[in-house]
């Protein structure tokens, strides 16, 4: 059993897509074991995306991620990191497969509706960034 961090980004929340994203997870057998809505400070966003701090899009990305509330969730399931990445589609919605969340709803390489951890090590770090043990529900 694996866990990953998913975030519905400010554009996803703003376009009323919280329910749609969650529906796709649940329809595909993915369990949500923690969830909240938060509005990140710029400092928080810079910490969360620290791996990208040398990239040219870092300032724009952190500004976008603080432009409105976001919905971080912990997803659990077999092979859930890969499963979530398949449901999201490629980072650039133009390259994303038909029927994926980003292909269906993203408007820009940056405003791409959702984030998902890319590996078990990053999932563990990203989950800890948003949730403590008490906030995680073992659902059996």
CA distances from 2 to 24, 89, 96, 101 (A): 18, 19, 24, 21
Pick out residues in 5-44 that bind ligand CMP (CB under 6 A).
Answer: none
From the list 29, 31, 30, 38, the residue with the least C-alpha distance to 8 is: 38
Say whether 115 is catalytic.
yes
Q: What are phi and psi of 115, to 5 degrees?
A: -120, 150
Residue nearest to ligand CMP (CB): 115
100 binding ligand CMP? (CB under 6 A): no
Structural contact between residues 122 and 64, judged by C-beta atoms closer than 8 angstroms: no
Using CB under 6 A as the binding criterion, the count of chain residues that bind ligand CMP stands at 8
4 membership: H or E segment, kind and range: strand 2-8
- What tokens were used for 107? 């408007």
Structural contact between residues 95 and 32, judged by C-beta atoms closer than 8 angstroms: no
Q: Which stretch binds ligand CMP (CB under 6 A): 14-22, 68-76, 94-102, 107-115?
A: 107-115
Position among 62, 84, 100, 112 found at the interface with ligand CMP (CB under 6 A): 112
Write down the least CB distance from residue 46 to ligand CMP, Å: 13
Which residue, 93 or 131, has its beta carbon nearer to ligand CMP? Answer: 93
Position among 42, 57, 129, 137 found at the interface with ligand CMP (CB under 6 A): 57
DSSP 102: H
110 binding ligand CMP? (CB under 6 A): yes
Enumerate binding residues for ligand CMP (CB under 6 A): 52, 57, 61, 91, 109-110, 112, 115
Catalytic residue numbers read: 115
């Amino acid at each position: 059993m694996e866990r990953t961090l998913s975030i519905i980004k400010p554009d996803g929340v703003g376009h009323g897509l919280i329910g749609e994203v969650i529906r796709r997870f649940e329809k595909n057998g993915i369990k949500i074991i923690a969830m909240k809505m938060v509005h990140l400070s710029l400092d928080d966003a810079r910490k969360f995306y620290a791996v990208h701090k040398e990239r040219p899009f870092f300032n724009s990305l952190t500004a976008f991620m603080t432009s409105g509330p976001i919905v971080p969730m912990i997803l659990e399931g077999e092979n859930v990191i890969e499963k979530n990445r398949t449901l999201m589609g490629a980072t650039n919605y133009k390259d994303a497969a038909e029927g994926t969340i980003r292909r269906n709803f993203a408007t820009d390489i940056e405003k791409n509706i959702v984030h998902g951890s890319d590996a078990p090590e990053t999932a563990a770090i990203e989950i800890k960034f948003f949730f403590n043990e008490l906030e995680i529900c073992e659902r059996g």
